[in-house]
Amino acid sequence: MKKRTTLSSIDVGTTKVCTTIAEINSGGGIRVIGVGITPSKGLHKGLVVNISDARESIRESVKKAEQSSNYKVESAYIGVTGRHVSSLNNQGVVAITRNDRLVRSDDLRRVLACAQNVKIPNDRKLLHVIPRGYAIDGQVGVKNPVGMHGFRLDVETHIITAAVTSVQNLVKCIRSIGIDIDDLVLEPLASSEAVLTEDEKQVGVILADIGGGTTDIAVFRDGSIWHSSILPVAGYQITRDVAIGLGLPFDVAEEMKKKYGSVMPVYEAKVETTNTMSEDGHGVSYQDLCDIIRARVEEIIRLILLEMPRSEYEALVPAGLVLTGGSANLSG
């Protein structure tokens, strides 16, 4: 069987759809050869709300990536996000019954199957079962138990589920443009691979991917994922606050947020600057704009910390908070 040399991924977001095509070289390294980014239509807070609009946005994004890489996308990995995603930690235990007491790979499969033996409602789909760590005869911290001897094998897993209908709608959009799905990947897990170091994951860190419609959170400890959740608050809410607070059309508010927005405090001593957008002649106080943005960003950060399963987050995540995503580009 010929080894696959190209990989494609599609990130269907609330504000933009991004398709990347990468080449895998013989050493296992990855080189991105094509990217296609288009504004997103038919999505709200990470969920498909209009299948035909969403399909066209995805088709356009894939076409751009194909043109820039001169490669045809046949199948892709798809990012999943939205408030419907939930997670839990669960444990599994199996006995090693063979005479040599040697842990083999089929024991790993058995213990993982045991760990994912949780009651999942009919309207939920299992996305990921991620082993956090193994224990052999009570000895914790084992990363790979294959080849070790023991009577009992334990595993702690992080299980991520999503709403069946939301996933089906997304899958339908992508299959309808002739692309097979390699796998579904939770967005904050994909972001963590890109922006976190192994040291940060080991020490303990919160990753917050603040996008257009959702803020994706992943908490890492001891080198593996410990908690994940999705907040339905992000850049869209910041723009909406600016639009309502300053009486601006949504598109003008979005443009002003990107161009002039800052979360740094603006002091009265500074000269009051009134920046007027040329397109519709809307003029607003720089101070008011930044105050509204800062209030909403502070609220988002507070909500991220409230999502932590325990209140003493300083001890839990000494490496702090890592921000990524489009809304993290706000100055300050």
CATH of the domain at 51: 3.30.420.40
Kindly calculate the radius of gyration of the chain based on its CA atoms and give it in whole angstroms. 23
> Domain range spanning residue 100?
86-163
Which residue is associated with the tokens 């669960």?
Answer: 90
* In the predicted structure, residue 277 carries a pLDDT above the cut 50: no
130/258 same-domain check: no
pLDDT band at 267 (very low <50, low <70, confident <90, very high): low
* In the predicted structure, residue 88 carries a pLDDT above the cut 70: yes
Rounded (5°) CA angle 137-141-144: 85
Amino acid at 271: V
144/67 same-domain check: no
pLDDT digits (tens, 9 = 90+) for 14-50: 889 999 999 888 877 888 888 999 999 988 888 889 9
pLDDT band at 153 (very low <50, low <70, confident <90, very high): very high
What letters, b where the CB count within 10 A reaches 16 and e where it falls short, cover 77-101?
bbbbbbbbbebeebebebebeeeee
Task: For residue 191, tell me if it sits in a domain.
Answer: no
170/123 same-domain check: no
Q: How many domains does the chain have?
A: 3
Give the C-alpha distances (Å, rounded to integers) separating 220 from 130, 140, 198: 12, 17, 10
* In the predicted structure, residue 308 carries a pLDDT above the cut 90: no
| 323 three-state secondary structure | strand
> How many Å apart are CA 104 and CA 199, to the nearest integer?
29
Which tokens go with 296? Answer: 């909403």
How far is residue 269 CA from its own chain's centroid? 40
Q: Say which residue, 265 or 61, is predicted with more confidence.
A: 61
Give the global pTM.
0.85
Task: For residue 1, tell me if it sits in a domain.
Answer: no
